A and B are shown apart, each in its own frame.
Chain A
Amino acid sequence: MTATLSPAVARPAHVPEAAVYDFDMFADPAYVADPHARVLDLLGKAPGVFWTPRNGGHWMLLSHEAIFNAARDVETFSSELMPLDKVEQMQKMMPRHVPLPLPICVDPPAHMKYRGPLNRVFGPKAINDLKDSIRTLAGELVDAIRPQGACDFMSAVAEPLPVQVFLKMLGLPVARMDDYRALVRAHLSDPTPNPMDSVKKLWRIVDTIKDVLEDRRANPQDDIISLLWQLDIDGKPTTMDDMENYCVVLFVAGLDTVMNGMGHGIRHLAQHPELQQELRANPALIGDATEELLRRYTFTVPPRIIGKDTVFAGLEMKRGERAMLFLPAADLDPKAFSHAERFDLKRENKTHIAFNAGPHRCLGSHLARVELQIVYEEMLKRLPLFRLDPAHPPSFHCGHVVGVDTLHLLWNP
């Protein structure tokens, strides 16, 4: 994907020149060519906290320490990119309810009101019960490509697997798989759309799911949609608006993320035959490998808005300015991890923050970990040694998700 640099805006007076570093988190050419190589390069060149003039001008937090502190200081580094009273005003001007990605866009204490009900559904126990069916799905996808000796891993495995798991968990009809995959593709096709296009995409998601939402309201079954209908949110029964909010966040967060983690991990395995060999010989190590791959290739960049004027890392930050928690850099920070660039199965400290720190810790982290580990296990179990296709090098897109577009693999069938 070729991306154009956004225009540089002027440096605000309170930002010292030494704190400026020019980096376009959507379009930096070296970053889009090989994201994590550029992240390592950036860690050697840019300050641990800097201001970039690109994309309207914003703060970038790189160091592990800075991100760890910011993620836990939700008053200063707020997730309410648009204040809730403004959201309400906007809702009144719209022809229909605009689904909100709750609880991502609310700060504590209101945050827990929306997140609490989801915690159990996505908790380790509930996710553990899904393992067998996820393994079956993954096995089927890998078996289907095996005789071909080649595949684009992203479209053959990484994209369909989470969609199928999502349909299963929510109780959506698997027969409509193609509709949902088309939605995912439409959603992913333009990483920097204008706001109204984004809203239209959300409405498309809701329109696709709405008949099932209505049905489960009257005929509850053993799935998440039925469970969400039975909740009390703040003492009030769930409304259709609440359901639209939840479904949109589950859809967007559940599908556009983990597939990219799979892409980064499988790319690393394809580049390292010795690691494939080691893990095939001792599959019990794949759990550790999954964690170390998450650290080495952390791939999300959550946005925050400065909630109050502050001095952070010696820098003046003003209310309303935007700050990015650049998690890929935090987990490659040499101050937090020795030889951070090295993939090291036996690394003592694998305590990464790929799922962020603080109260907004990724709700789907338990599911993501299970999906990632199972994909690595089934790929290694069912395919012989696989490698990158030199004729089709992998391609990436960058932004709030550092994603893999294509990942062409070869093996001897």
Chain B
Amino acid sequence: MKIRIDKPACVGNARCAAVSAELFPLDDDGYIAVSEIAVPPGMEQLARRGARACPERIIVIEEDVAKS
């Protein structure tokens, strides 16, 4: 699973980091520090919740498709 973030559109609500500071790193100003995050196994649920928490709706989850 991957998280993609439209980083320039971040306005610093920091709600994603309130769900998981580990998964969603912020810069010193409280804006998202990265635009792509590989979700470690077991953190998928947190990733989805973090994406939903964004008032700007700029966090998109890409589910893994190739699963057998």
**Which residues on A are within 8 Å of B, measured CB to CB?**
72, 116, 119-120, 122-125, 349-353, 355, 357-359, 361, 365-366
Contact A123 to B52, CB < 8 A, known contacts A359-B11, A361-B13: no
User: Shortest Cβ distance from B56 into chain A, in angstroms?
Assistant: 6
Asked if A120 and B13 sit within 8 Å, CB to CB, the answer is no
Contact of B31 among A119, A349, A357, A365 (CB under 8 A): A119
Which chain A positions have C-beta within 8 A of B56?
A: 72, 357-358
Asked if B29 and A351 sit within 8 Å, CB to CB, the answer is no
Main SS class of interface, B: loop
Which chain A positions have C-beta within 8 A of B29?
A: 116, 119-120, 123
Which chain B positions have C-beta within 8 A of A120?
A: 28-30
Nearest-neighbor residue (CB-CB) of A117 within chain B? B29
Which chain A positions have C-beta within 8 A of B13?
A: 355, 361, 365
Main SS class of interface, A: loop
User: Shortest Cβ distance from A63 into chain B, in angstroms?
Assistant: 16
Asked if A125 and B30 sit within 8 Å, CB to CB, the answer is yes
CB interface residues, B 1-54, toward A, < 8 Å: 11-15, 17, 26, 28-31, 52-54
The number of chain B residues touching the other chain, given as a range, is 10 to 19
Kindly name the residue among A123, A352, A355 whose own CB sees the greatest number of chain B CB atoms within 10 A: A123
Which chain B positions have C-beta within 8 A of A124?
A: 14, 17, 26, 30
User: Once the chains are docked, how many angstroms separate the CA of A119 from the CA of B52?
Assistant: 23
Contact of A119 among B15, B30, B53, B55 (CB under 8 A): B30
User: Once the chains are docked, how many angstroms separate the CA of A79 from the CA of B55?
Assistant: 20
User: Once the chains are docked, how many angstroms separate the CA of A120 from the CA of B26?
Assistant: 11
Asked if B30 and A352 sit within 8 Å, CB to CB, the answer is no
Which chain A positions have C-beta within 8 A of B31?
A: 119
Given A125-B26, A357-B55, A361-B55, 18 other A-B residues pairs in contact with their CB atoms under 8 A: A72-B56, A119-B29, A120-B28, A123-B14, A123-B26, A123-B28, A123-B30, A124-B14, A124-B26, A349-B52, A351-B53, A353-B55, A357-B11, A357-B56, A358-B11, A361-B11, A365-B13, A366-B14
User: Shortest Cβ distance from A228 into chain B, in angstroms?
Assistant: 15
User: Once the chains are docked, how many angstroms separate the CA of A365 from the CA of B11?
Assistant: 11
Nearest-neighbor residue (CB-CB) of B53 within chain A? A351
Asked if A351 and B52 sit within 8 Å, CB to CB, the answer is yes
Nearest-neighbor residue (CB-CB) of B11 within chain A? A361
Kindly name the residue among A124, A349, A361, A366 whose own CB sees the greatest number of chain B CB atoms within 10 A: A124
User: Shortest Cβ distance from B59 into chain A, in angstroms?
Assistant: 11
Which chain B positions have C-beta within 8 A of A359?
A: 11
User: Once the chains are docked, how many angstroms separate the CA of A350 from the CA of B13?
Assistant: 14
Asked if A351 and B55 sit within 8 Å, CB to CB, the answer is yes
User: Once the chains are docked, how many angstroms separate the CA of A116 from the CA of B31?
Assistant: 11
User: Once the chains are docked, how many angstroms separate the CA of A122 from the CA of B29?
Assistant: 8
User: Shortest Cβ distance from A266 into chain B, in angstroms?
Assistant: 23
Asked if B55 and A352 sit within 8 Å, CB to CB, the answer is yes
Asked if A366 and B11 sit within 8 Å, CB to CB, the answer is no
User: Once the chains are docked, how many angstroms separate the CA of A403 from the CA of B49?
Assistant: 32
User: Once the chains are docked, how many angstroms separate the CA of A358 from the CA of B30?
Assistant: 15
Which chain A positions have C-beta within 8 A of B17?
A: 124
User: Once the chains are docked, how many angstroms separate the CA of A286 from the CA of B52?
Assistant: 20
Which chain A positions have C-beta within 8 A of B26?
A: 123-125
User: Once the chains are docked, how many angstroms separate the CA of A359 from the CA of B55?
Assistant: 12
User: Once the chains are docked, how many angstroms separate the CA of A125 from the CA of B30?
Assistant: 7
Could you write out 27 A-B pairs with CB less than 8 Å apart? A72-B56, A116-B29, A119-B12, A119-B29, A119-B30, A119-B31, A122-B30, A123-B14, A123-B28, A124-B17, A124-B26, A124-B30, A125-B26, A349-B52, A351-B15, A351-B52, A351-B53, A351-B54, A351-B55, A352-B55, A353-B55, A355-B55, A358-B56, A359-B11, A361-B12, A361-B55, A366-B14
User: Once the chains are docked, how many angstroms separate the CA of A352 from the CA of B57?
Assistant: 11
